[in-house]
Amino acid sequence: MSEISAASPALLGGDPVRTKPFPPRPGIGAAEREAVAGVLDSGVLSQFLGGWTEEFWGGPRVRGLERAWEARFGVRHAISMNSATSALYAAAAAAGVGPGDEVIVSPYTMTASAACALVQGALPVFADIDDATFCLDPDSVRERITERTKAIVAVDIFGLAAGLDELMEIAREHDLVVIEDAAQAPGAAWRGRPAGTLGHIGVFSLNYHKPIQCGEGGVAVTDDDRLAERLALVRNHAEAVVGDMGADHPDLVGFNYRLGELEAAIAAVQLERLDALVEPRIRAAERLTAGLADLEGVHPPFVPEGARHVYYVHAVRLDPERLGVSRARFAAALRAEGVPVAEGYVAPLYRQPLYQRRTAPAFALAPGGGPSYADGTSPVCERLHERELVYHDLVHADMGEDDLDDIVAAFRKVHAWRDELRRPGTP
């Protein structure tokens, strides 16, 4: 083993590449403060009524946000909610998902992408994901279709929308609704069309770690008038309202998923800054990708031809066989160099106790107890999660070139020293 020196990996006692913290994410600016002050001055913090009046549609900021969202994304309807989770739950209800139905979804996503089926008494069926894009693999989706399939939830994971054309084709063949979970992907696009508008209903998140934020918030979009009406009903106590609307939607039970005026005002300002916040992310990620491109066994995010990836996180696939060192070791070495990478993403959702124990009410309604959630259900996802993926979110608009170059330098250093790192007996 070579002598330990300052140039050695920090994990083996050398000096780390990075000793100071990376810049925090961009905060809230003067325009957001002013917008909040305007709401406070108006005295109207919310203006929804759960009845069939003008106020069924919410207050002026909520409606203003929705009109601005429609214009920015080129959709007929934007319906704001108090989170993307609420918007997903409303989307499943609007799509008519119900007891006995199945909803095909990726297991490599935030829990609500799948839980939206359970809330409606339906069961998530987990398909596998594509090795390169980490989005649903359409071939795997085809294999999961049964006569009970009602909808597909396609997740634009990590800020990339991929495979939707084929999923829409499958949906046409089998008369399914596609819900695009674009929570992580505002500003992304596929062949010039905004992510979130590629399915029948799209859902965005405005929580604090998304590219644009208002604290807590979400928006559902659709070009379908009937789906829009149903989304608005579920948001706002549907059962109290449908009578007035001619009982056209008697299957709907409503919630209170309404967004407040303060959040709506902040979200409207953030929406104006969407490009200004997302374009630096793309430039940052491209700088990282260029700096890692020649490293054998290190695969920066894949961007299919025609896609605009907005990099909610920068997810790098490691190939431990080619590297000759495990992901755990590689990631530990990166962290020792001062780059806080996480390993894997969320565990495949079917490993949650909820699915393993089948205790949710929806399972009681399932013929034969429902689909399998055994290990091996989504092997690509399992491999990526257990052995290959590392990610970080250091691609935001306030990252400088020097900060990004430190990340590249850390990856390159760990890669160059990988033989030392795998030696038995090294700490």
Minimum separation from the CB atom of position 336 to ligand PLP (A): 28
CA distance 278 to 26: 11
Q: Is 83 or 415 the residue whose CB approaches ligand PLP more closely?
A: 83
Residue whose CB is less far from ligand PLP, 12 or 380: 380
Minimum gap (Å) between residue 318 Cβ and ligand PLP: 22
Number of H helices, E strands in the chain: 17, 14
Closer residue to ligand PLP, CB minimum distance, 199 or 338:
199
Q: 206 or 323, CB closer to ligand PLP?
A: 206
β-strand pairing of 123-126 with 102-105: parallel
Nearer to ligand PLP, 109 or 270 (CB): 109
For residue 181, the minimal CB distance to ligand PLP (Å) is 5
Residue 340 tokens read as 């806080």
Please count the residues of the chain: 427
CB of 212 to ligand PLP, least distance (A): 12
Q: Which residues contact 347 (CB under 8 A, 6 or more apart)?
A: 385
- The letter for the amino acid at 235 is R
Residue number, 10 or 160, with CB nearest to ligand PLP? 160
Interaction site with ligand PLP (CB under 6 A): 83-85, 109-110, 112-113, 155, 181, 183-184, 205, 207, 218
Closest distance of CB 194 from ligand PLP, Å:
16
Among residues 123 and 185, whose Cβ is nearest to ligand PLP?
185
Q: What are the start-end ranges of the H helices in 261-326?
A: 261-272, 274-292, 320-323
Q: Tokens representing 366?
A: 């399932």
E strand or H helix that includes residue 202: strand 201-205
Q: How far is the CB of 4 from ligand PLP (least distance, A)?
A: 41
Tokens at residue 40, please?
């406070």
We find the least distance from the C-beta atom of residue 404 to ligand PLP, in angstroms, to be: 23
Rounded to whole angstroms, how far apart are CA atoms 193 and 414?
39
Contact 168, 198 (CB under 8 A): yes
Exposed, middle or buried, 27 (CB in 10 Å: 0-12/13-18/19+)?
A: exposed
